[in-house]
Structure 1
Amino acid sequence: MFDTRPGAWADNMFWAGNLEEAGQVLHGYQSAWLPASLLERDRREALAEMLFAASRHWSISLHTNKGLAGVPAEVVEQARDTAINPAALEAFALLISAAEGPPAYPGIPGHEPGAVKADRDVEAIGRAMSEVRRLVPNPGSYVAESDFFEERWQDAFWGTNYPRLLAAKERYDPDGLFINRHGVGSERWSADGFTRLSGR
């Protein structure tokens, strides 16, 4: 679709499928890499039961375009040398459970943030993901589609790659010029990223 707003550039376009995402406020977002071993004959029933149980709490979706299970071995070997959590190398899908609301603007009647609904959504997502973690206790997560408040982010986002990535960060960016929330080395900075924590 092309941007039909007055003054918009002629080549300003976007995917029609993303139209509903424009301006949305994410209430909660969690993801989990699901290992291909869950597709083995003796584990399929447990997988189906987990998916059903999780869906009783909140909606879930399986994104089969993201894991690397089933790709040629040389592709997996190349991917091992990237930053992505190694759980993705064996995953057949990325399970996502998320909730959003319409654009919110504090102080504008009819567009106030829906904090009560957001809190309920976050709790429901948490219950759904608890069902996932019963079957896959430490699934790993895709950093670009993950929980903003993830407490074990080093392991969830980077897995066993984290020590290697932290060493590279210390070597090439010792002053912390490039910092983002839950990025490699960000534990050495305040939550807003402006203040280096003492002794780190």
Structure 2
Amino acid sequence: MALSKNETSQLYVSLFGRASEKVGSDFWSHYNQSTSIADTAKAMMQHTPLEGNSPYAFVMTLYKNALGKSLADDEAGIDFWAQLLINGMRKEELVERFIDTVVHYNAQTQQDKDALELFFARVEVSNYTAVNFTGALTNNDIRGLRFGDGLADVRTQKDIAGCIQQADALNAQLPQNNWNQTIPPGMVAGVTVYQPDTLMG
């Protein structure tokens, strides 16, 4: 069963800290019709070299991208997830479990409520661009879809409309993808010229 657009956006936000584009979202949603979120996460990470590949660096990337949190914000939480990797859990399994936990988390503190609002707001932006961002991205253009870089540092529902306007403005500047073209083997979906779209960059 293919992933939903929403599930693919959750991966883009958590792994890459950016909104998806149509060709990339379509590619990862359908690259394996029987895949799981973990399998897709593994494939996405294989297409992108990792920086800071230690368990703690990997988990801190997820926290920063998905929740806007640093080690100082949630040392115990980051330690919990990092220990799972240290004890043998595969990264793709952790990503699937991490996202599932975030989606179903019952936040009690204001900090956690703010973190969840950030996650869902960024996913909502990505769901929009997954349908409407049809421009042909080069590696230099990818930064334009990263939150806090080319796009606004989306943290609340109030930030969504302005962020979508930024994405639309970038899309209007780019040549549009030819949807009859296939993605060559080894090329990152949505990137015209392959260069690493790093997790940390």
**Structure with more of its chain in strand, by fraction:** 1
Please say which structure displays the higher CA radius of gyration: 1
Structure 1 or 2: more helix by fraction: 2
Shared fold, TM over 0.5 = no
Q: Which has the higher contact order (CA 8 A, sep 6+)?
A: 2
TM-score (norm 2): 0.23
TM-score by length of 1: 0.23
